[in-house]
Amino acid sequence: MTARNTAPAHSRPRTQPADPNLRRAALWYAKAGIPVLPLHTPTADGTCSCQRSGTCESAGKHPRLRHGLHDASRNPDLIRGWWQQWPDANVGLATGTALDVCDMDTSAGLAAVLDTLGVIKPAAPLIRTGNGWHLWYASTGLPNRVGLMPGVDWRGTGGMAVAPPSVHAGGTTYTFQQRWNGLALPDCPAPLRTLVAAPAAPVAVTAETITRFDRYVRAALDGELQRIRQAPAPVYSGGTRIAGGERNNTLHLAAFRMGQLAATGRVDEAATRRELTAAALQTGLSLVEARRTIDSGWRAGRARPRR
Ligand SMILES: [Zn+2]
């Protein structure tokens, strides 16, 4: 006796047969807990049943129902009615409730996911799509995410995936390379889940941070320029300054603070120093005096960076 077929017939997983019937497949997915919706169908000439022939950019991949994803359902009567109306409708699955899909467009994308998982063969239903692969996991509760890795997207909350045995615009059908028994889907492994849950790509964060930092630097500089211009001018008596020494101190402190910011390497030093100098000259300081004071303050500030 082999290990196979030892389980009593009634407890064997209900492995989905390689059934080319779209309506039966749709009903089977609904029974397994996944909301279903009818999609358009690629035509023999490579266009789409939506009649936007030649201009449809997602042939056989977009909903036939008016409200699209919002109309997805698990109701068998509704599903039977849809496929009675459109027997060749492709099968769409709403992701984010029972099912999430890791969508790999390229073999490099598949390789990247397998590397992330540290496996040669993923422990999840694997679907061959037109040009790539889908991995099916139990819903993570996380939203759609484009560009998880090069060639890899995530279909989660608010997303959708085309399911077997739908027809791809290229003429092939979506097929299970690793079947699903229709019972519980595997949880998304931690390394992959971490990627899905991670904050936006570093490049986007950097751009945003720089913008915010630039605004911060601008506001800081404007504040310093205002203080310099408002510093009391010195009062002289017989060639001796008897009041108004704050002007130089104010300029020194301004240069010190901007020098501290410049230590981050993200301040335009030349432009900032030009503006400080211009403000100093407006208060009546000489160019030599202004430059000397700014140099001194700037150097001290750079030596004590502001975090
Ligand atoms: Zn179309």
Q: Is the pLDDT of residue 204 over 60?
A: no
Share of the chain above pLDDT 90, in %: 45
Has residue 249 been placed in a domain?
A: yes
CA of 60 to the centre of ligand 1 (A): 6
The encoded tokens of residue 173 equal 């059908």
CA of 120 to the centre of ligand 1 (A): 36
Has residue 27 been placed in a domain?
A: yes
Domain span including residue 216: 202-303
**How many Å apart are CA 277 and CA 38, to the nearest integer?**
69
* Cβ count within 10 A of residue 21: 13
CA of 47 to the centre of ligand 1 (A): 7
In this structure, the answer to whether residues 113 and 157 fall within a common structural domain is yes
Average pLDDT, the chain: 84
- DSSP for 147-176, please give it: EEETTEEEE-BT-EEEETTPBPTTS-B-EE
The CATH code of the domain that includes 88 is 3.30.2250
Has residue 5 been placed in a domain?
A: no
Has residue 138 been placed in a domain?
A: yes
pTM for the whole structure: 0.60
Q: Is the pLDDT of residue 225 over 80?
A: yes
Question: How many structural domains are present in the chain?
Answer: 2
pLDDT score of 95: 96
Q: Is the pLDDT of residue 49 over 70?
A: yes
CA of 180 to the centre of ligand 1 (A): 29
Tens digits of residue pLDDT in 53-105: 567 888 899 999 988 888 999 999 999 999 999 999 999 999 999 999 999 99
- Longest Cα–Cα distance in the chain: 117
Of 224, 244, 246, the closest CA to residue 235 belongs to: 244
Q: Is the pLDDT of residue 36 over 90?
A: yes
CA of 22 to the centre of ligand 1 (A): 18
pLDDT score of 19: 63
